[in-house]
Structure 1
Amino acid sequence: MKHRHEQQHQHQESNHGHHGHHHDHAHGDAHDHQHGHGGHGHHHHHINPDGNGRAFALAIGVNVIFVAIEFVYGFIANSTALMADAGHNLSDVLGLLVAWGAAMLTRSEPNRRYTYGLRSSSILAALFNALILMLACGAIAWEAVHRFSNPGPVGGLTVAVVAAIGVAINGFSAWLFMAGAKDDINIRGAYQHMAADAAISLGVVVSGLAIMGTGWTWLDPVVSIVIVLFILVSTWALLKESLRLVLAAVPDNVDAAKVAAYLATRPGVSSIHDLHIWAMSTTETALTAHLVMPAGYPGDAAVDAIVAGLKAEHAIHHCTLQIEMGTTQHDCALHGDSH
């Protein structure tokens, strides 16, 4: 059966037995609103944003200082690997600034123009971070290839010492974001940058020590290429996930089939259609669905229970449910809807 989505979001407020709508949002403050409109129930749950501001400020501060030191000593030691690492760290500082700005924008209140606020800016920040890392890879690889044909003397001791400091600074920065990385790909992007930098700096330490012991200056550009491959591998998953979220795909932590099965098996539900799931931000997921309930609107308590189950079992933070009795046929221009 086809369903025309555009024509089935009309609200028949005069007949509360046919339609029920439930909204559960996560906003920026900590108070709830309840509005009763017969068959329509709206819940707005406001949650406090996580406190990553101090982590961003500390990570940006120490990395800006280190980037300047690393680039200067990389130039003095004639080390492409060290200067490449400095350039990569500089791109990370830019990425951290974007991620921090997006994290702050997610706190903005909804308005008439942006009815969800600016939550989705965190998705754009994650995508931006992934793209910046990919561009950094290209720059590092380009310089390394040129160094193969024009090798020069490399100050191995300077390279090793400065890179060792980088291991400590980047490791500390990654630790700052470790807790928030599990549930937010914007924070995960920042964490991956810092963790990758720590591993990269460790590789530069090894190359510096190896050059000291062997005099093989070609190791410097080789390490640069290894750095590029490492960044590409670690960033690919972030790039794919952020692209999917930008395109309104179902987030990776939500199983659409299980959500459909959950809704279809609620008491009184004979079928469902027009099920859509997408990310409002890197931490919040939204859902809309039409539930066919031949007995009519089951009451606010029953709808509240469905919404609570979606949040607790399926990580759906904002849902809009439309209740229908199935007395008319619904056509939908969109394909692939759940029924």
Structure 2
Amino acid sequence: MPHDHDAGSAHASGHGHGFGHAHGPVELSARDLTPAFRWAVGLNAAYVLIEAAAGLLIGSLALLADAAHNLTDVAGLLAAWAAAELARRAPTARYTYGLGRATVLAALLNAIAIMVGVGAVSWEAVRRLGDPINTPPAAIAIVALLGIGVNFGTALLFRRDSRSDLNARGAYLHMLADGAVSLAVTLAALGMMATGWRWLDPAAALGVGAVIAFSAFDLLRASLRLSLDGVPEGVDAQEVRAWLAAQPGVRGLHDLHIWALSATRTALTAHLVMARPPAPGFLTRIAEELRRRHGIDHVTIQIEDENEPCASARCA
């Protein structure tokens, strides 16, 4: 039975009830984010120590809450870094797709950590609103200004990859949210200096917590969907189905699956029912078009003879 090799494919082989199947081009590796993670972890770990010490010395809830949140950021960055390194490992006999899914899990953990941190800060902020403590606003402003530089600077390290890598997106949003917290703490400190209103310290923590939760919800939703093998964002499954079904010689289509292999790689499998063996280069063209149109870089297509009975329950 004929089968077609795709450019760069690992292999192609015949099938008992069809014309054969073939794999698309070998997926592209993600950009190395090790330098970005190295700088991010170092800068944020140092700032956590500075902010926590300052918060304890002057008794600022906003600084202590932000330091605790930044500590979860360091843990999140380490998890994301480890996941990115695992994703670079070659597939094994036990993990035939490799360990790229670790990047999706890291993004999910990052989102959960953000939401838990927001809950803890908000709880303490509500408690402190009724009984604000006397804190030196000038010292708070100085430490928070340093945090603006550290957090927004760290976010810039991941900005380039945040659109195409969910793991980098998690780190980017985490650092961007921290920068917003530091900015709010700075504004609250300036407000306390101008008005003497001590409740601005916990109020700032409460307000920024709401903003962070809103921005993190999208990351939580996207990473949870990919963890459950949902179709990645930016891929229209119905459009892919219609395009495959419209290819020359295709009489039917079933068992179409699209899922994420990692935060940057998408896979597809499908059965195409045809009346005759496909023309040379048919599968190569399909794999290249799916990568170009939808960013799907690991394609497995099985060709089936329309005159042969289909063993799949989804044939209809």
Is TM more than 0.5 here?
Answer: yes
Contact kept, 8 Å, 2:237 with 2:258, in 1: the verdict is: yes
2:17 aligned partner: none
2:138 aligned partner: 157
Residues 41 and 247 (structure 1), Cα distance of their counterparts in 2 relative to 1, 3 Å cut = closer
2:94 aligned partner: 113
1:132 aligned partner: 113
What SS is found at the alignment partner of 2:51? helix
Match of 1:307 among 282, 287, 290: 287
Residues 48 and 96 (structure 1), Cα distance of their counterparts in 2 relative to 1, 3 Å cut = same
Matched, 1:327 2:307: yes
Residues 36 and 69 (structure 1), Cα distance of their counterparts in 2 relative to 1, 3 Å cut = closer
Distance 1:36 1:130 in 2: 39
Q: Measure how far apart 1:331 and its partner are.
A: 5.6
1:219 aligned partner: 200
Contact kept, 8 Å, 1:80 with 1:220, in 2: the verdict is: yes
In structure 1, list runs of 5 or more residues that go unmatched: 1-15, 25-31
Matched, 1:263 2:252: no
Percent identity between matched residues is: 44
Greater shift after overlay, 243-252 or 298-307? 298-307
What SS is found at the alignment partner of 2:250? coil
Superimposed CA distance per residue, residues 172-197 of structure 1 (whole angstroms, 9 cap, x where no aligned partner)? 10111110101011100000011111
Residues 331 and 48 (structure 1), Cα distance of their counterparts in 2 relative to 1, 3 Å cut = closer
Q: What is the 5 A alignment of 1:111-260?
A: 111-260=92-241
Query: What amino acid is aligned across from residue 308 of structure 1 in structure 2?
Result: E
Residues 184 and 36 (structure 1), Cα distance of their counterparts in 2 relative to 1, 3 Å cut = closer
Distance 1:308 1:118 in 2: 24
Query: What is the Cα-based RMSD across aligned positions, in Å?
Result: 1.9
Query: What amino acid is aligned across from residue 188 of structure 1 in structure 2?
Result: R
Greater shift after overlay, 278-287 or 149-158? 149-158
Q: What is the 5 A alignment of 1:38-117?
A: 39-42=20-23, 45=26, 47-117=28-98
What SS is found at the alignment partner of 1:117? coil
TM-score, normalised to structure 2's length? Answer: 0.93
Contact kept, 8 Å, 1:250 with 1:278, in 2: the verdict is: yes
In structure 2, list runs of 5 or more residues that go unmatched: 15-19
Query: What amino acid is aligned across from residue 290 of structure 2 in structure 1?
Result: L
Distance 1:117 1:36 in 2: 20
Query: What amino acid is aligned across from residue 155 of structure 1 in structure 2?
Result: P
1:317 aligned partner: 297
Query: What amino acid is aligned across from residue 301 of structure 1 in structure 2?
Result: G
Query: What amino acid is aligned across from residue 101 of structure 2 in structure 1?
Result: S
Q: Measure how far apart 1:230 and its partner are.
A: 1.1
Q: Measure how far apart 1:170 and its partner are.
A: 0.7
Q: Measure how far apart 1:315 and its partner are.
A: 1.1
Distance 2:23 2:266 in 1: 17
Residues 326 and 267 (structure 1), Cα distance of their counterparts in 2 relative to 1, 3 Å cut = same
What SS is found at the alignment partner of 2:259? strand
Query: What amino acid is aligned across from residue 312 of structure 1 in structure 2?
Result: R
Q: Measure how far apart 1:171 and its partner are.
A: 1.0
Residues 33 and 248 (structure 1), Cα distance of their counterparts in 2 relative to 1, 3 Å cut = closer
What SS is found at the alignment partner of 2:258? strand
Q: Measure how far apart 1:48 and its partner are.
A: 3.9
Q: Measure how far apart 1:33 and its partner are.
A: 5.5
What SS is found at the alignment partner of 1:111? coil
